[in-house]
Structure 1
Amino acid sequence: MLVVVVITLMAALVVGSSWPAVLDWRRATAGDGDRDRAAAPGPPGPAESLEGVLVRQVIAHEITPRQYRNAMRRLAERDADRHPMPGLPGDAPPG
């Protein structure tokens, strides 16, 4: 009988001492939604590069990921033609 009383008192002590922490936690998590809405970014500004335009189009679902990859591949090929990288020592010459 004494064991039951001691266990009940200890459980009441644990619950009573942790209750303020639970209330603080609930208040903090309830306020997170307000902070998330306040911190949400606005509409993005104008794109400054072709890559930015392509990313914006993918995000807005104006083009498919496959179209994005193809456009990026063509962009990389164009860049390689315009600005070729110098060969490394020991590389065989092209062709």
Structure 2
Amino acid sequence: MLLTLIITVALLAAFVQVLWPDPTDRPDGSDAGSGAGEPAREPETLEGALVAQLATGDITRRQYVRAMEILAARDDERHPLAVPPDTGPAATGG
């Protein structure tokens, strides 16, 4: 019983050590902290740019939603969803 408890505690400690974030593992060597003051990566997509603008307060939530609606409509025109024709009930293998 004691051996099982010791093994369980050791495994739990190993999982915590592996999963716990280490602030010294950051690529820029800075402390993780609250995230304030960190240099932001440039967004690679238009959606990412909109999220960045929303997060910094450059645009309102309403402007963000409207811009996403426009992007969705444009994407629908460029890549329409082709639904396969209905061929009747599905055949059951039996």
Quote the RMSD (CA, aligned, Å): 1.8
TM-score (norm 2): 0.53
Consecutive unaligned residues in structure 2, runs of 5 or more: 1-22, 24-29, 87-94
Q: How many residues get paired?
A: 55
Aligned match for 1:38, one of 31, 39, 45 = 31
> What code does the residue aligned with 2:44 have?
E
TM-superposed CA distance for 1:88, in Å, is 3.4
Q: Does 1:76 align with 2:72?
A: yes
Bigger Cα Rg? 1
CA distance in 1, matches of 2:84, 2:63: 33
Where does residue 43 of structure 2 map in the other structure? 47
Query: Which consecutive aligned stretches of 4+ in structure 1 deviate over 6 angstroms post-superposition?
Result: none
Consecutive unaligned residues in structure 1, runs of 5 or more: 1-34, 91-95
TM-superposed CA distance for 1:87, in Å, is 1.6
CA distance in 1, matches of 2:84, 2:57: 41
Same amino acid, percent of matched pairs: 44
CA distance in 2, matches of 1:86, 1:75: 19
CA distance in 1, matches of 2:48, 2:73: 18
Select the structure with the greater relative contact order (CA < 8 A; seq sep ≥ 6): 1
> What code does the residue aligned with 1:83 have?
H
SS at match of 2:31: helix
TM-score (norm 1): 0.52
CA distance in 2, matches of 1:64, 1:88: 39
CA distance in 1, matches of 2:45, 2:51: 10
